[in-house]
Amino acid sequence: MDAVLDRQGAQRIGAPGDQFDPERHEAVAVRASGEVPDRTIVEVQRSGVAHGDRVIRPAQVVVARAPEHAH
């Protein structure tokens, strides 16, 4: 799949450790975590696709929240 995206000039977006960006990611769940910074992607449920600056499909991700903000 990555080779096909590369040939089309597109790329996968959304990876664990990335900072959540609502323009590029769709938060499908929030997970309390004191191990990573707030708003960090901790799991990718479906990779997103972008072509240059244009998001074709946002990544569906699980985002970390500090335990006191997880409610």
This prediction has a pTM of 0.83
Residue 34 and residue 45: Cα distance in Å, rounded?
Answer: 21
Q: Does domain 2-69 have CATH number 3.40.630.30?
A: no
Q: How far is CA 9 from CA 1, 25, 60, in A?
A: 12, 19, 21
- HSE toward the beta carbon, residue 11, CA cutoff 13 A: 7
Domain ranges within the chain, ordered by starting residue: 2-69
Residue 62: closest CA among 38, 27, 23:
27
* pLDDT value of residue 57: 96
* pLDDT value of residue 4: 59
**Average pLDDT for consecutive 10-residue bins of the chain (71 residues)?**
67 96 98 94 97 94 85 55
* pLDDT value of residue 70: 54
